Structure 1
Amino acid sequence: MNILVTGGTGFIGRWVVGRLLKDGQKVWVIDNLANSSLDNLNEYAGDENLQRVKIMDLKNRASLQELFRENAFDLCYHLAASINVQDSIDDPETTFNNDTMATFYLLEECRKQKVKMVFMSTCMVYARANDEQGIDELSPIKPASPYAGAKIAAENMVLSYFFAYGLPVVVVRPFNTYGPFQKTGGEGGVVAIFIHNKLKGEPLNIYGDGTQSRDLLYVEDCADFVVEAGYSDQLNGEIVNAGTGKDITINRLAELISDGQVPIHHIPHIHPQSEIQKLLCNFQMAERKLSWTPKVPIEEGIKQTEQWIQSALHRKEPFQS
């Protein structure tokens, strides 16, 4: 197939691109590099199926239209987004434009060419899990930040194109994803930040009391899920979760990563109003309809991530999303 990946130089995007190339698909990548680097695709530079990597902003409608005129795509994985919760609180307009308006522009091109879209949403749209069954696709949503609100708005636009135009679409909601190539700064995930601090001999800082919990999904498992959602016709017009079905408190995660080597501190929360106390995924739909289950346990995922960050520190490379 001819496949377009937006945000394909980003953390999850580069793993999606890698899986598609491994499958022998022809892949086009677009990204505005606001939160990523072309270096993330260096591993695939010699792959003949990587057709083009184009630096482009999805809000540039003329460039987007030209891209769809020049190429006949079969499938589009839409991962490009502004993802920082605090940034969305400080500057909601930028997040709305990047996450909602840009999605609408892309949808219009997909509609004209009948290109299936897999839309990357987030578990941050949900309210907290109320029981040990976890959050499923029918669980209540709570837009506790403009980021979550922008994603919900974009989700609804994507699904409306299925019902109004018959455009095949899937909305995917992965839970907290971590692994190699994730940023270790403010826009990175908690696992990458903790590991980076540990390797530099710095304390692990926990926002709040650390009793909040997360369902942590290794990035290769996430990429496999996203790709399979696009390959299958079983989920058209649906929302589908991916996670491990196990959550871990931030306190326990810090203990696991620090391994007694660096201190753990608790500091005031920078956006307590947007905190979700418990995130636990129920991924039964993905298991039932895609035969997908996560393969990498948290201990192995942390080990792989630490090896990658240690290697990058040794090479003194900048950390990219």
Structure 2
Amino acid sequence: MIRDTGTVQPILITGGCGFLGCNLADRLAAAGIDVLILDNLSRQGVRENAHWLKSRHGDRIRIAVGDIRDPISVIDSVRDAQAVLHLAAQVAVTSSLQNPVDDFEINAGGTLNVLEAIRTHNPDAPLVFASTNKVYGHLISEAQIERHGMRYRPSGNAFPSGIDESTPLDFYSPYGCSKGTADQYVRDYSRVYGLRTAVLRMSCIYGPRQFGNEDQGWIAHFVRSALRGEPLTIYGEGYQVRDALFVSDAVDAWIAVLRNIESCRGRVFNLGGGASNSISLLELIEMITRLSQTKVQYDFAEWRPGDQPWYVSDVSALSSAIGWRPTTSLEDGLQLLQTWLQGQLRPSADAREALA
């Protein structure tokens, strides 16, 4: 599916200056594939990611500043693309609670703009969409959860391999509703209009180029706070569990789905680290303390709406479909993230000279 320098058609990445988007753009450009990024450059770190991409790849990457809420910007970007990787979104549950209208317009309305642009102007272009595990909602009640050591787990060892795609959807929080709406539109445009679309419901992706905060990119936020000596706030008891996937493994999966779009079209897949890469918040703090040799300061606050006490992806469907599996252990990935963040926090030689 992916064509190299023999074509002038780029792969379009919406939100391509964000964390996962820029890692995808970097991988594609390094393989000799032209990339067009549509990004409104509004989020933390995206301008730095944009400069990083241009410094590495020059004209191989073109950045169009625009918003997916603007149909004209979307049409202009989609019209000549050989494929679309749609990652542009409002990504924080907390922001969706503060401004649900913006959240809906970006995530649901913006995705509909992308789908309509493909349907009416470039129907042969495949689309891979970044969904979220939040479409499954709260999943498990307090009565169905038990504490085991420093983590929660489902009672009776339920879901030993994690949550699979047959789990009923139960949108929770405006963010869950807007992403869930987009998730279903992307799937339905394959069924109804015959577009070649696939949905990836992602768990926690982490790694270099992630400028995390407590609302999004929480693993990077934890590591950055530890390196800076800043205290963390843990919402809940700290025993809540997520599975984590290193960004290079996530990029492998995205590109493999695109390459295999004919067999993946119309399908929905979970994308995460799976049971072998699951960790609780308190376990992560212990691991960061050991790797960084820095004591992490933290306190506790009340649970936030939409927080899941336990979520682990069952990724067997994706593995069967494209022959993919995670290859980076959580500890190795965390070390790579920490090394990158240390470089970000360390003043450059020019800055040190200016301060001398």
Q: Do the structures match in fold with TM over 0.5?
A: yes
Which of the numbers 162, 166, 178 marks the counterpart of 2:194?
166
TM-score after normalising by structure 2: 0.83
Distance of aligned partners of 1:194 and 1:161 in 2 relative to their CA distance in 1, 3 Å threshold: same
Which of the numbers 58, 61, 68 marks the counterpart of 2:71?
61
Unpaired runs of 5+ residues, structure 1, are 317-321
CA shift for structure 1 position 261: 2.7
Give runs of aligned pairs for residues 105-116 of structure 1, distance below 5 A: 105-112=113-120, 113-114=122-123, 115-116=125-126
- Residue 249 (1) aligns with residue 280 (2): yes
CA contact (8 A) 1:206 1:264 kept: no
Match of 1:240 in 2: 269
CA shift for structure 1 position 44: 3.3
Worse-matched range after superposition: 178-187 or 278-287: 178-187
- Residue 138 (1) aligns with residue 166 (2): yes
Q: Secondary structure at the match of 2:162?
A: coil
What RMSD in Å do the two structures reach over aligned CA positions? 1.9
TM-score after normalising by structure 1: 0.92
Distance of aligned partners of 1:132 and 1:266 in 2 relative to their CA distance in 1, 3 Å threshold: farther
Distance of aligned partners of 1:131 and 1:64 in 2 relative to their CA distance in 1, 3 Å threshold: closer
CA contact (8 A) 2:78 2:84 kept: no
Q: What CA distance in whole angstroms lies between the structure 2 residues aligned with 1:150 and 1:224?
A: 26
- Residue 39 (1) aligns with residue 48 (2): yes
CA contact (8 A) 1:205 1:267 kept: yes
- Residue 77 (1) aligns with residue 85 (2): yes
CA shift for structure 1 position 198: 1.2
Amino acid at match of 2:342: Q
Give runs of aligned pairs for residues 89-168 of structure 1, distance below 5 A: 89-112=97-120, 113-114=122-123, 115-126=125-136, 127-128=139-140, 130-168=158-196
Distance of aligned partners of 1:101 and 1:282 in 2 relative to their CA distance in 1, 3 Å threshold: same
Q: Secondary structure at the match of 2:264?
A: coil
Worse-matched range after superposition: 148-157 or 180-189: 180-189
CA shift for structure 1 position 61: 1.4
Distance of aligned partners of 1:63 and 1:183 in 2 relative to their CA distance in 1, 3 Å threshold: same
Q: What CA distance in whole angstroms lies between the structure 1 residues aligned with 2:289 and 2:231?
A: 9
Q: What CA distance in whole angstroms lies between the structure 2 residues aligned with 1:17 and 1:25?
A: 9
Q: What CA distance in whole angstroms lies between the structure 1 residues aligned with 2:28 and 2:296?
A: 41
CA-to-aligned-CA distance 1:22-52 (integer Å, 9 cap, x gap): 2322211110112142321334325266242
Q: What CA distance in whole angstroms lies between the structure 2 residues aligned with 1:270 and 1:212?
A: 10
- Residue 261 (1) aligns with residue 294 (2): yes
CA-to-aligned-CA distance 1:127-166 (integer Å, 9 cap, x gap): 2474212111111222121111111101111111111111
Amino acid at match of 1:257: I
CA-to-aligned-CA distance 1:291-314 (integer Å, 9 cap, x gap): 111111011111111111111111
Count of residues in Structure 1 that have an aligned counterpart in Structure 2? 314
Distance of aligned partners of 1:292 and 1:86 in 2 relative to their CA distance in 1, 3 Å threshold: same
Give runs of aligned pairs for residues 152-301 of structure 1, distance below 5 A: 152-232=180-260, 233-246=262-275, 247-259=278-290, 261-269=294-302, 271=304, 273-301=305-333
Q: What CA distance in whole angstroms lies between the structure 2 residues aligned with 1:308 and 1:180?
A: 6
Q: Secondary structure at the match of 1:215?
A: strand
Distance of aligned partners of 1:263 and 1:77 in 2 relative to their CA distance in 1, 3 Å threshold: closer
Unpaired runs of 5+ residues, structure 2, are 4-9, 141-153, 349-356
Distance of aligned partners of 1:33 and 1:48 in 2 relative to their CA distance in 1, 3 Å threshold: closer
CA contact (8 A) 2:53 2:61 kept: no
